[in-house]
Amino acid sequence: AQTLKGAANANGRYMGTITDPAYINGSDRTYNTIALQEFDYITAENSMKWDAIEPSNNGFSFNNADTVVNWAQQNGFKVRGHTLVWHSQLPSWVANGSWSKSSLTAVIQNHVAKVMGRYKGKIAQWDVVNEIFDENGGARDSVFSRVFGGLDEFVTVAFNAARAADPDAILCINDYNLDYNGGKANGMISLVRRLKANGVPIDCIGSQAHLVVGSVSSSFGSTLSSLCSTAGKCALTELDIRARTPISSSAAQQQKTDYTTAVRACAVLNNCLGVTVWGITDSRSWIPGVFSGEGDALPWNSSYQKKPAYDGILAGWPAG
Ligand code: G3I
C-alpha cells in the first residue's frame, strides 16, 4: 500500500512527524505504529526544548531526548532537532537571569555545544533559532533580543556555535506565519540575506506552516520559494491545518485540498527538503488548548481513521 513516506521518497524528499517518550513507551501503541509505517523523519515535540534539556545552568537532562534519538536510529528515521534558542519553554534561569552580552553568549554557546555535541552525526537538521520575529518582521521581545539589542548578534552566536558543534548538520532558522508575502516573511528574508552575506552559517529556513482550512494564501508557494532561495534550503517543519471542531465534511474536503497545496509547494522546489506534520491524530494536538473551538487539523482523526487530508498529502507529491 502507498504510504506518506513512500510518496515523498519517490520525489526525493521525506515525510516527518513528531513524537516523544510518552508515544514511544506509553500505552497508545497505534500512534507509534502509524509513525513507523508512514513517516521517515521525526521531531521531538517537547523533549529537546531548553526547559526539558537544560533545566538548570549547565545541568542537563538528556533522558527523554536520548529516548527519541535512539528510537529514531533503531527504526531508520532521520531527526530534526527542535530547538536550541527559543523564547518559549525557556527555563526561568535563562529567561529571568541578569545577563551581560558576554555572559549570555557563554550560556548560548554552552547549551548549543553540549546539546548538539551529544547528538553529533545523529541529528540531520537543527532548528537553531525559533520564532525570533514579531509579526512585522522586527525583533520579538525576549531575553535574547533585549540583552543583545536586536537579532543579528545572538543569531550569529547561535549559528556559529551550531556549525562548530556538528559541521554536517543542516542549520535552520524556523518560524510561523511565513505562509504569505508579509512583514514576517520579509523580515526573515532580509535577516537571512544579511547574515549569510556576513558568513553566518545559515543553511535553511523552516516554515512551520500552522495553517487554517480555507485560508491558505495564494502566495504560499511563491513565498516558500523566496525563503528557499534566500537560505539555499527550506522545509515545512510543523504543518497542520486547523478547522472549527468538529470538522464538517465540506471542511474536511477543503482541508484535503489545502494539504495538497502546502505539500505541492515544497515538492516543486528542488531545495525544499521535506515536510513534517505536527502530529498524527487529532486527539493529540496542541491546537484545541490554544485556539478554543478549533482543531481537527491532522491527517488521522481521533479514532485513528484516515481523513481526506491523508489523501491530500499523497496528492501533493507528484511522482509515485
Ligand atoms: O511538562 C508539563 C507537565 O509537567 C505538566 O503537568 C503539564 C500540565 O499542563 O504541562 C506540561 O507542559 C506542557 C508541554 O507542552 C509538555 O507536554 C505545556 O503545558 C504545554 O504548553 C506544552 O505545549 C507544547 C507547546 O509547543 C508549548 O509551546 C506543545 O506540546 C507543542 O506541540 C508545541 O509545539 C510548538 C513548537 O514547539 C513551536 N512552534 C509552535 C508549536 C505549537 O505551539
The pLDDT value given to residue 88: 98
Q: Domain span at residue 93?
A: 4-316
End-to-end alpha carbon distance in the chain: 12
Which residues lie closer than 8 Å to 123 by C-beta, 6 or more apart? 69, 79, 80, 81, 116, 166, 169
What gap in Å lies between CA 248 and CA 269, rounded to an integer? 32
Reference 288, options 302, 273, 269; nearest CA is: 302
pLDDT at 256 (0 to 100) = 98
CA-nearest residue, atom 17 of ligand 1: 46
Residue 129 · residue 155 · CB < 8 Å: yes
Distance 214 CA to ligand 1 centre (A): 26
Pocket test for ligand 1, best of 284, 286, 287 (most atoms within 8 A of CB): 286
- Catalytic annotation, residues: 131, 238
CATH, residue 97: 3.20.20.80
Report the nearest atom of ligand 1 relative to the CA of 88.
Answer: 28
> For each of the chain's 320 residues, which pLDDT tens digit applies?
699 999 999 999 999 999 999 999 998 999 999 999 999 999 999 999 999 999 999 999 999 999 999 999 999 999 999 999 999 999 999 999 999 999 999 999 999 999 999 999 999 999 999 999 999 999 999 999 999 999 999 999 999 999 999 999 999 999 999 999 999 999 999 999 999 999 999 999 999 999 999 999 999 999 999 999 999 999 999 999 999 999 999 999 999 999 999 999 999 999 999 999 999 999 999 999 999 999 999 999 999 999 999 999 999 999 86
* Residue with CA nearest ligand 1 atom 16: 46
Determine which residue's CA is closest to atom 20 belonging to ligand 1.
286
Residues with CB under 6 A from ligand 1: 45-46, 88-89, 208, 238, 286
- Give the alpha-carbon dihedral of 286, 242, 185, 227, to 10 degrees: 90
Q: Which atom of ligand 1 is nearest to the CA of 208?
A: 39
Residue nearest to atom 23 of ligand 1 (CA): 286
Cell of 243: 478547522
- Predicted confidence at residue 319, as pLDDT, reads 86
CB contact at 8 A, 41 and 274? yes
Question: How many domains in the chain?
Answer: 1
Q: Is this model's pTM higher than 0.95 or not?
A: yes
Using the atom order of ligand 1, give the atom closest to the CA of residue 176: 39
Question: What is the pLDDT, as a whole number, of residue 190?
Answer: 98
ipTM of predicted complex: 0.94
Which of 17, 19, 45 has the most ligand 1 atoms within 8 A of CB, as the residue to mutate?
Answer: 45
What are the contacts of 58-66 at 24+ separation with CB within 8 A?
58/110, 58/114, 60/114, 60/115, 62/118, 64/20, 64/21, 65/115, 65/119
Q: Which residue has the cell 552566536?
A: 157
pLDDT at residue number 19: 98
CA 196 – ligand 1 centroid, Å: 32
Say how many Å lie between the CA of residue 40 and the centre of ligand 1: 23
| Grid cell 528542488 in the structure block, residue | 270
pLDDT of residue 163: 98
Contacts 24+ apart (CB under 8 A), 5-8: 5/38, 5/39, 5/40, 6/320, 7/313, 7/314, 7/317, 7/320, 8/40, 8/274, 8/275, 8/317
Task: Tell me, rounded to whole angstroms, the distance of Cα 208 from its chain centroid.
Answer: 5
Does residue 80 contact residue 123 with C-beta atoms inside 8 Å?
yes
pLDDT of 1 reads 62
Cell 539589542, residue located: 149
- Ligand 1 pocket test target in 89, 210, 282, 287 with most atoms within 8 Å of CB: 89
